[in-house]
Structure 1
Amino acid sequence: MSDPTEFNTGGPPGSNVPGWKPPPDLVGTVLADRYKVISVLGDGGMGRVYLGEHVTLRKKVAIKVLKQEFCHDRTNVERFLQEARAASMIRHENIVDIMDFGQVPGGSVFFVMELLEGADLSDLIKKIGRLPWMRTRNILLQVVRALRAAHESGIIHRDMKPANVYLIDRSGVNDYVKVLDFGIAKVDDQSTGLTRTGAVFGTAGYMAPEQACGDPVDSRTDVYAVGCMMFEMLTGRTPFPGTNFMRVLTQHMNEPPPRPREVCPEADVSDEVETIILTALAKKQEDRFRDMAALEKAIAQANGEVATVPPQNRPRTTNKGTVVLEDGPNPFAGMTPGQPPPGFTGGDHGGDGATMMLDGFHPTSGTGSHPKMTPTAPVTGSHPQMVPVTGEHPQMVRPEDEEAEDRRRKMI
């Protein structure tokens, strides 16, 4: 496998010349003399994924290529290659296998992955609404084992969400999990220089409070994201849905999560399972499961018996639209619990599915205190007004629920 640090990460020749255009699509070309590009499989924010084939082995692969317009920025190139580097460091059966690196003529870079045929967990939730506990349990156990292996390798994912969990059929086994996209992972290697204090990366609907503030993250940050996923898999919605990213992040930071059975009384959620979810969603890192091993044990032991008298239902909100926040100051840096975002007026700026990239070390290109926003999908629907939350940081478990608190303490 090539060493990604050997790549020329300067701009493509001539890219700074007026009138320069990126090279044509790669379909039909051969990369690094060994991978024939067959067709386009999909497009992402910074990369494009192709179906490819090894010219000698005739093995089908997926090839992810950094889009040409991002190649002139060394940080973009390093972050793109970090996705491959991180996944290849872990080498776990439930993490997508990265097989090779390479460089595209003209200056771009690529990496080669195993070809997966299936669907991501996000699509499954959209299709069926919510999952039964035993199916949820089977999927989550594979996810937490993959993340446990990542953490043991010094890697925090930082963007765990259903869209990054791919489900395939393998050897007759349904719902075989492959965790994807380590592009914004925090690698325990200061030489990369990619992690800076005050920088925020992640997706709003699954972002832990410390992550939203730009504070240090650890394995419990991923525990929180898995808690959000668990909530969504069983109820059909995230703990804090919405189309306003400031409101969603503020809720993660300040508001106690709703109880899954109050949101969706018909959900397949027992007392034990609900306690697991609420523990994973604790505001303070020290109040969550101490690591993925503890979360795995709790999920594995949960019996999944449904409560006989579910609480009253609550309104549900759909998740629409995506907004990518580009270079700009972190509006949550230095905030204290209960403090609304600076300059916040309750406007509509994307929702719980918004992928954040707020970099505190670059000046904003817009005005005011908010980072520049580039919409990548239309945002529709009505949005609730922002209600500032005041007072002390809320407790994870309500005081009257002493039995739930006892169960939670035993788990962590």
Structure 2
Amino acid sequence: MNQSSSASPDSKGLLANRYQLIKLIGTGGMGKVFLANDVLLGGTPVAIKFLAQTVLNPKLQKDFAREAMVSAALSQKSIHIVKAYDYGVSEQGYPFYVMEYLSGKSLKEFIPMNLPMFMNLTRQVCLGLQCAHQGMNIEGKIYPLVHRDIKPANILVMPDPILGYLAKILDFGIAKFVNAVSTISTNKGFHGTLPYCSPEQLEGEELDSRSDIYSLGVMMFEMLTGKKPWEPETDHFGAWYKAHHFEPPRAIAAVKPELQLPKELNELIMACLAKAPRDRPQSSTQLLQVLENINRTYYLNWPANKSSMKVGSNIPAESVNGNNPHIAAKSDLPVAVEQICWKAIWPPNKPIQEIVFPRLLDIEKNPVASLWLMLPKAEIQKRSHSIRYNQFLFIKLPHPMLLWLTVLYNKQLGPKWLPCYLDMQEPQNQKMVYSLASNERYPLILFTLEAPNSCTSVMSSYINETQRQTLKTWLEQSKTLPPSSQAHLSKNLLKQQYKQMQSQIQEHLASMPAAVG
């Protein structure tokens, strides 16, 4: 980390002797953001934020270094906080910090939004807040972080192959430092964004996590209605002071009557907006528990949200997917399909070991794609009540290849990864994908590792409508491509993508309610 004033452009125009500023990409109340290349990492793009206030006082520079260090350490703990890599103070006294460069949109561009998207993004923001509020252990001391400026403009939303949308919180830990600088330079104890400030923040008091929860309540209200909970006469400090301290928030039903909210969700948002910190949810963990209960009760079977933002990938091909983890104990398959599954016999040309492979079931004129896997009998019994998750990734060039991924997740055993790679120029695999695109569910047939290696369980995994439509598109594209002999290259690219996303999938599944049945 670069903590001194040596972090300034040299004769070659490099900041901290490594960052080449390219262009201004954003401005805000805290400062300016530039796109830059990290020349020490081969020109890797990064985002560099220069704070608006100059800091020439050595003590304040030290304070900034501490805040930035804690923020950087925190950002490595949660995928829902924008990663900070480096920091410094320029020769002119402007503090800066270096962040990952991400292509996304501000949350405010999605407001108002539907309930599935609201539940998805709110949960992710709460996970980021939970990580920060629990604190970072730096040299044996716990440093809890309060953001102090939670608002839609500080939430970055981008397409994600696992979550549909990925939410990341910007500027963690920096607001406290900016507040300290503002207090010294203006003799005022307040810095923030007026519509989202808690009453205690407006008083300049010492803040804890409940202040962020208040700001989150304002943001949740706005995410659903497109409006703030209050309509003061002006945007001046006095009008917002009066609103936050003395005026009750408007009812969501009064602002948007057509919105049918569960009673528990309405009560949660109103509780976050309580004037006194003691009357709000006391932690982001408590918020997450309530959200999970609401999700389990009302929204568990809602499809993944794709809206208008196209999902992309880092591989040089199309890679679009949908996901809908399915929780159930029964297979929910058509009777004819389930009967054939139970009669299945382990193929003699397959080894007796823990493996998975795809296979078409011969059912009249419509073959059904299925997954066959062999596991120890005890594990099959434990995984009989699992979260089933699936995802499909496709690469068109240099060779059309599909990754068909199924995950059985058990909170005690963890994930069972079941990846299958399908060469999309093989007619048999095209039939497989056609079946997946044509049916809401595919069967998982489980055989025991112990003799007589018989089928002892049949499960199913749900494929949502978005996924099925995407599979049809990929199938048609595959049929139009010229012959290729580079299947191994495409498979290796998909394997890299698969390895990179495993940790996100596991975190996502671990946060879901346990399977029922």
Category of TM-score, reference length = shorter chain: 0.5 to 0.7
Confirm or deny that 1:97 pairs with 2:83: yes
Aligned residue runs from structure 1 range 245-324, under 5 A? 245=236, 246-303=238-295
How far, CA to CA, are the matches of 1:254 and 1:40 in structure 2? 41
- RMSD over aligned Cα atoms: 3.3
Equivalent residue number for residue 61 of structure 1:
46
1:244 equivalenced with 2:219 (yes/no): no
| Kept in 1: contact 2:107–2:157 (CA 8 A) | yes
Within-5 A mapping of 1:229-240:
229-240=219-230
Q: 1:164 aligns with which of 145, 149, 154?
A: 154
> Which amino acid in structure 2 is aligned with residue 143 of structure 1?
V
User: 1:51 touches 1:60 (CA, 8 Å); kept in 2?
Assistant: yes
The answer to whether the Cα contact below 8 Å between 1:32 and 1:103 also exists between their aligned partners in 2 is no
Would the aligned equivalents of 2:54 and 2:93 in 1 still touch at CA under 8 Å?
no
Greater Cα offset, 275-284 or 76-85:
76-85
1:158 Cα offset (Å): 1.1
In structure 1, give the amino acid aligned to 2:23. Answer: S
Q: Pick one of 99, 102, 105 that aligns with 1:116.
A: 102
Change (3 A) 1:193 1:62: closer
The residue type paired with residue 227 of structure 1 is G
**Residue matched to 1:383:** none
Shift of 1:103: 4.5
Q: 1:148 aligns with which of 115, 130, 141?
A: 130
Matched with 1:134 is 116
Counterpart for residue 42 of structure 1: 26
AA in 2 matched with 1:217: L
| Gap runs ≥5 in structure 2 | 136-143, 300-517
Provide the C-alpha distance between the structure 2 equivalents of 1:116 and 1:305, rounded to a whole number of angstroms. Answer: 33
Tell me: CA distance 1:82–1:231, structure 2 relative to 1, closer, same or farther (3 Å).
farther
Shift of 1:171: 3.6
Partner of 2:214: 224
Measured after TM superposition, the shift of residue 44 of structure 1 is 2.8
Q: CA deviation at 1:290?
A: 1.3
8 Å Cα contact 1:169-1:176 kept in structure 2? yes
> 2:217–2:273: 8 Å Cα contact kept in structure 1?
yes
Could you say which residue in structure 2 is the equivalent of 1:407? Answer: none
Flag the 1:152–1:172 CA change in 2: closer, same or farther, 3 A. Answer: closer
The structure with the largest strand share of the pair is: 2
Provide the C-alpha distance between the structure 2 equivalents of 1:45 and 1:78, rounded to a whole number of angstroms: 22
In structure 1, C-alpha distance between the alignment counterparts of 2:188 and 2:93, rounded to whole Å:
31
Contact 1:64 1:112 in 2 (8 A): yes
Amino acid at match of 2:214: Y
Q: Distance in 1 between matches of 2:57 and 2:157?
A: 33
Residue 78 (structure 1) shift? 6.3
Q: Which runs of 5+ in 1 are unaligned?
A: 13-22, 307-412
- Matching residue within 77, 84, 95 for 2:68: 84
Q: Deviations over 1:131-181 (max 9, x none)?
A: 112211110111111111111111111111111100012345432011012
After TM superposition, list the pairs within 5 Å mapping 1:313-392 onto structure 2.
Answer: none
- AA of the residue aligned to 1:219: S
In 2, distance between residues paired with 1:75 and 1:254?
38
Cα offset, 1:37, TM superposition: 1.5
Which is richer in helix? 2
After TM superposition, give the deviation of residue 83 of structure 1 in Å: 5.9
Shift of 1:106: 4.6
Question: Aligned partners of 2:93 and 2:241: how far apart in 1?
Answer: 37
Report the Cα distance in structure 2 between the residues aligned to 1:277 and 1:113, rounded to whole angstroms.
31
The answer to whether the 8 A contact 1:279-1:289 is kept is yes
SS of residue in 2 equivalent to 1:137: helix
Q: Is the 8 A contact 2:72 2:86 kept in 1?
A: no
Question: Does the Cα contact within 8 Å between 1:207 and 1:249 map onto a contact in 2?
Answer: no
Structure 1 position 244, deviation (Å): 2.8
| Residues 86-132 of structure 1: CA deviation (Å, up to 9, x unaligned) | 4213132111111112444554442211001111111221xxxx211
Number of residues paired by the alignment?
281
Distance in 1 (CA, whole Å) between partners of 2:215 and 2:30 is 23
CA distance in 2: counterparts of 1:86 and 1:203, whole angstroms: 23
Distance 1:178 1:226 in 2: 14
Query: CA distance change for structure 1 residues 158 and 36 in 2, over 3 Å: closer, same or farther?
Result: same
- Distance, in Å, in 2 between the alignment partners of 1:102 and 1:193 is 16
Instruction: Check the 8 A contact 1:121/1:166 in 2, yes or no.
Output: yes
Larger Rg: 2
